[in-house]
Structure 1
Amino acid sequence: MATVKNTYILGIETSCDDTGLAIVSNGEIIAFEKSSQGIHQNTNGVVPQIAAQEHLREINSLFQSCLDGAGIETEEISAIGVTSGPGLIGSLAVGASWALGLSQNLNLPIYGINHLEGHVFTLFFSDEKPKKFPILVLLASGGHTMLLDWSYPEAFKRIFNTRDDSAGEALDKVATMLNLGFPGGPEIERHAEQARDELSYRFTVPMRNKTGFSFSGLKTEARKKIREHDELNLADFCASFQKAAFDHLLDQSEKQLSLKQYHGIAIVGGVSANQKLRKQFQSLAQDHSLCFFAPPLKLSTDNGAMPAIVAEKMLNGEIETSFLTGVYSRFKSKK
């Protein structure tokens, strides 16, 4: 009987301020390395030039750690998947140029991976892997908030995007107003867990009678309340703001569920690491008799397994191939 040769797919993610590398083999993560840039805490936001410099400083050592973790040699790598966008151009260029150099040295195929598709494909690492489609996917992160219609192996279709700020950006900015540091989402969550009353501060849930996402008004309302209250109950305020933001995500997702028959609902992206949000979407799925999917917590935020799993499926001919041709800052849908 013929022996099936293992393939080893190197994934490289440098779209923002996380340098992530991983090696995937036959759908499993066999090496995973990541460096998050704490330097941006000093500026309460990502400085693009510094982010690119940090990627360049970290990528070689992370690659060697991946090889050691997987127990393979450089020459055993079968293909490379590198995030090509959307993201910060300088950061993306570091990962893409480094990956291109390696692919040329080893004569390997190199795939340019859509960052958003990478987030969606982390669902293949969830405890209950998606098998029936379509699935309604909420992608919520610091850079993006959108609803997606996913009918694998076809590319996902964007239903609608946020009109202004992303959910993660709104959480980060409100955390900055409260002097909680950056990134702010985990700090908002941590303080909200100590709250006694998540209705202490009344926020207006955006777009109750409309379709789409919008967080700029909610953010402005938060700024106004912070200025008006000299003695703010921090835990209750964080819980109240978080509740309004998550109610907005739930409302818009439930509206879409009423418009089309889905086999499941999923959440991906950095905001999906929030435990309260996971429980709320799990309840939403149960209410509609749907399967619920979410990636493992460590795969919610940017990481190298994202481009690696997409590249593996391209190499295997499961989905349309997209070779690296450059990097781009904004969302690009597949034709």
Structure 2
Amino acid sequence: MARISRVAAAALMVAVLVPSAIAGTASATPPTDQKIETIGSEGTRTVPAYDEGRLVQVFEANFWASAGERRYISSNVLAKQGTGTSDPLLMAQTSIICAGTGSQQVGANMNVQRGQSITLNPRFVFISQNSGNVSCKLYAAGRRPDPTGSPASSNTWFVDYGSYLAVSAPMPSWTRTFDTSSLTSKRLDDPGDNWTPIDKTFTIASGVTQFDLISDHKVTVCSSSGGSEDSTTNGPLCTGDVVVPGGDSVVSLTVRVRQKTAGGAWCGGPQTLVDGKTYLVTREIHHRMLFSKGVVTVDPDCAPVFTVTANIKLESGVATVVHAPNETTLVTS
């Protein structure tokens, strides 16, 4: 595999890594205030799902950060499975690990079907623990959730044209990733069941007119017991009669933000960033990432204090798990 060149990003500079052969055809465009750097003409990166546990380094961005400095680390990974795999689907796994002044990481994964593509957007706000050099690396790996046929070595997926890893310029101290470590994953059993894993109040700086709010989630349909456990559960949450082989579900996501007065009362109406957007979670997909991003407008007649809520509802179909470790909500400038 070709060695990926490094980006030496000085302080106050942003670095975006994009395969040069497709820099003009990305399906998702990096923010306009970011600098695009090429990484070579080969474009794609092959990920051997048949070799479970093997990590493939796809991108690396290096920069210098001061103590307490915050940067928005984002990515767009176009995961594609070719038509020549023996398995009908593979799991595409991605993670970003930033280290050097304290280690932080985030991940995202989902099944991709033969001949199809999916998009994964792991992202978070990195806070430097002290001054020094930081290296952020995006890794990819794969699994075979439904092994069939041979040869096993045919089961690879690849990071396609248009993928990137981005590191923003330093951001204000009010930007953040909300702490969700106290959450425990929850199973939604019947249509109408819902959960609000995100209900957070936060303050931004005075004078800010707008900001971005990102809220990402992961769900698993109970078409089998596999994949329904995580670090917050004591075994699988899909068990017994709730498991419906071949079952599908439809879930919806609603994300709202509302501003407050200095005394804590509501001020103005809510801003709905995601209004009940629905997602089909089939047996083949099994795990589904729900990525969302919106712009919040600040009312200068209210205090710079906001409450954000993110609600996931089972609209129809079989029981579905909402995974607490994958709850990621960010406030960025």
TM-score past 0.5 threshold: no
Q: TM-score, with normalisation over the residues of structure 2?
A: 0.26
Higher helix share: 1
Highest RCO, 1 vs 2 (Cα 8 Å, sep ≥ 6): 1
Higher strand share: 2
